[in-house]
Amino acid sequence: MTNYEVCGLTLSTYEAGVESLCQLVNSTAATVEEFCVETHIKDMQVMKLLAQTLPSERYAFYGWARIDEATDYRLREFTSLGEARFVFAKHEVSVDTRHVLPVYDWDGKPIAEATITFIEKQIPSKPERSGQNQLVILALVSALREAGVDSDESKVRTSRSWSGEGCDYAYLVGVPIKRLDLVLEAIFGRFGLKDGVGSFEFLGNVDRIEAIHSSGRYASVNFPRNAWSLNAGTGKTSFALERASFLYPILNVRKDQLPVVASVLDSLGTEVTRCSIVRKYLSWNLGKGAFSPRTQGNYVMLSRQKMGYALLLGFDQYANEDPPVKEFKAAVSPVLKGLGAKLKSIPHIK
């Protein structure tokens, strides 16, 4: 993947950036009607203001809580997990409702399955324990069946990694998101996991997020060292919309809505600590009826920087038979010249 910044444009607001973004896409890409807006928001009231213009079922709240018993997972909000990490003395359990790896060609819609990873931590390396524990695999399968999920040993993926005190064994299973609460309760009960701590990303519309936040069951500050906020690496706020959207850009806004959304983002100012508008899996129009394949490395993104805004784009020659980067530059450069801009190659995404 080759990354570029579009230089020469005056981008002092989101509105100006969106105008240039749409001009670029309209002239250089196959039909694009939807984008993904990612925002990181300081407080509930700001999220409510944004949701009036940009409604979504994927606003997020980040919190943590102590985990006592398996019955804790009967709580209704555990069907709203986007991501979670549970830490115990000798085990960890994680939940992720995104793709384990970015896909080659994706439609930008949420998936209906979550990945649960069960980890045995720091098992001493012994000759009789050279591989995964078959009893753990059987117990996981039994827990899934108890929760009403059809499964067998072949559906449990395994891996291991070495640490200073031994080996960590990981067991990955896919489960329907609508049964997450039942599966978690079954796994925690079967393995007797209790007295731990959990870190959570809850997803939903603003009313759902407000209800979870206001329940008092989850703290949004003073995260324990072993259960850090799942939003700590990007926006570092308690609320967000489509965190990590550059890797997992779930489409949430139509192109014709972007000017109004940009105007609201400009009005919110620094109350939105980080924001980007991205579209990946583009098919670039290379002229004369030629198009690049629709891959995850073909993207356009508008991103607010410390100083101003940046319009970035990428080209991906995924396979040898795909068009080379010189064909992309030859097709895009004249369009940018007409806008008073040019491409600048950059080593990584800003």
pLDDT single digits (tens) 63-97: 999 988 766 666 778 888 999 999 998 999 999 99
Sign of CA dihedral 216, 96, 246, 53: negative
- How much is the pLDDT for 127? 45
Is residue 123 pLDDT above 70, yes or no?
no
For the chain, what's the residue count? 350
- How much is the pLDDT for 293? 93
Average pLDDT, the chain: 90
Is residue 300 pLDDT above 50, yes or no?
yes
Mean pLDDT computed over 310-318: 93
Are 28 and 285 contacting, i.e. CB atoms less than 8 angstroms apart?
Answer: yes
Counting residues of the chain whose pLDDT is more than 90, the rounded percentage is 68
DSSP string, 60-123: EEEEEEEE--GGGGGSGGGGSEEEEEEE-SSEEEEEE-S-SS--SS--S---SEEEEEEEEEEE
Q: Which of 131-140, 148-157, 199-208 has the highest mean pLDDT?
A: 199-208
Q: Could you tell me the two tokens for 299?
A: 């993207």
How confident is the model over 220-270, as pLDDT tens digits? Answer: 999 999 899 999 877 789 999 999 999 889 999 999 999 999 999 999 998
User: Binning pLDDT at 50, 70 and 90, where does residue 18 land?
Assistant: very high
Are 27 and 275 contacting, i.e. CB atoms less than 8 angstroms apart?
Answer: no
Are 140 and 187 contacting, i.e. CB atoms less than 8 angstroms apart?
Answer: yes
Is residue 308 pLDDT above 90, yes or no?
no
Nearest residue to 62 (alpha-carbon basis) of 191, 295, 228: 228
Counting residues of the chain whose pLDDT is more than 70, the rounded percentage is 94
Model-level pTM? Answer: 0.91
How confident is the model over 32-54, as pLDDT tens digits? Answer: 999 999 999 989 999 999 999 99
Distance CA 49, CA 56 (A): 12
Q: Could you tell me the two tokens for 224?
A: 């324990």
Distance CA 235, CA 186 (A): 33
